[in-house]
Copies of this chain bind each other. A is one copy, B any other.
Amino acid sequence: MSSSRRITLKELAQHLGVSTASVSNAFNRPDQLSHDLRERILAEARRLGYRGPDAKARSLRTGRSQIVAVLLAESLTYSLNDAVASELLSGIAEVLDAHGHTLLLLSGRQANDRMPGSASIADGFIVYGLMPSPSLLDDLPSQHPQVAVDFDISGQASVHVDNEPAAHAIACHALRTPPHRAGIINLRLTEQACNGRIGPGQTLLSASRTITRARLDGFYRAFDEHGLDAAAVPMWNVEENTHEVCTPVIEGILDLPDEERPDLLLCMSDRIALTVLTLAERRGLRIPEDLRITGFDGIAEGQYRSPRLTTVRQDSVEKGRIAARMVLGLEPATPRLLTTELLIGETCP
């Protein structure tokens, strides 16, 4: 019954005494053969346990695999546990699913520095974030569509979020109530890796190297407009958007003597803001009386809790949907810029 090797289309054709073309058509183009023959073929296929054309052979012959690869700048382990990346993937998966495609996950931080060979199996690529090594993109088969998310690949389609105005908006909201001492916690903003206070000597990355630079520009514009000296606002930096990495930096901030501790912290991500919130609560600080906190991203974790995080929401799911539609050719592959929405929670009313 179940032989060790799977039966092939050719063998099935021989069993039936028909050509391989007819069997192929029975599965792919029902209008190309008579109803009776088709039924006969499908019945025999079921009987012999033939599960349909082999994907490897089919993809070689047709040149298409029905697979779209998502190439993530961060490691898969990190990305899968990051709410923003998960939402993006979720939006991508939704559209791919609806159009009979599947999702292959690739990371720019593999064990070795090269793209795995299996990458070239995909029909198209969605690239999320700036790769650690730009040469990785050279390995992608150039004749397949590529869509960049949250950064740019020259000459390719892209989906972006309007970071500067979003950051400006939330900072304006926060600065309506003048803080005694504001502070900013950045994410991967410095040229040299830095987990802690950003000193005057450190150079910052440009907006083409990190999206948080655009957010900082928005913050600065808001400070300026409120007559505050942005350059005097203390800044910290974290290299990774995780509890583990953020915790020591934030503890350093919260453990400052009362007269130095900020009473307003603008954070570059919800993950950072939530970590601030947790650690502040554990120290018995009153939120928002003793400390006001803002985030960025609008992840679910910040909203389905009490107090709710004040933040600005980017629709990462929609970002994924658009990228997926572009890569499938369902939508013109042009640069798209998404807007954001201010969410006023209880951490900074």
Using a CB–CB cutoff of 8 Å, the interface residues on chain A facing chain B are 2, 4-6, 51-60, 63, 65-67, 75-77, 80-81, 83, 86-87, 89-90, 93-94, 97-98, 100-107, 110-111, 116-121, 138-139, 141-143, 243, 274-275, 278, 281-282, 300-301, 304-306
- B93 lies within 8 A of A116 (CB): no
Q: List the number of copies, as a whole number.
A: 2
Instruction: Say how far A54's CB is from chain B's closest CB, in angstroms.
Output: 6
How many Å lie between the Cα of A306 and that of B100 in the bound state? 43
B97 touching A65 by the CB < 8 A rule? Answer: no
Which chain B residue shows the least CB distance to A96?
A: B76
Q: When A60-B57, A141-B51, A305-B305 are in contact, do A81 and B300 touch as well, CB less than 8 Å?
A: yes
Least CB distance from A25 to B in Å reads 15
Question: What's the Cα separation between A118 and B121 when bound, in Å?
Answer: 11
| Cβ-defined contact, B97 with A118, below 8 A | no
* 6 pairs, A vs B, C-beta closer than 8 Å: A56-B121, A76-B94, A93-B105, A97-B111, A102-B118, A243-B304
> Could you tell me if A121 and B77 are in contact, using CB atoms closer than 8 angstroms?
no
Given contacts A66-B116, A117-B58, A304-B278, contact A100 B111 (CB under 8 A): yes
**Given contacts A56-B120, A143-B5, are A81 and B76 in contact (CB under 8 A)?**
no
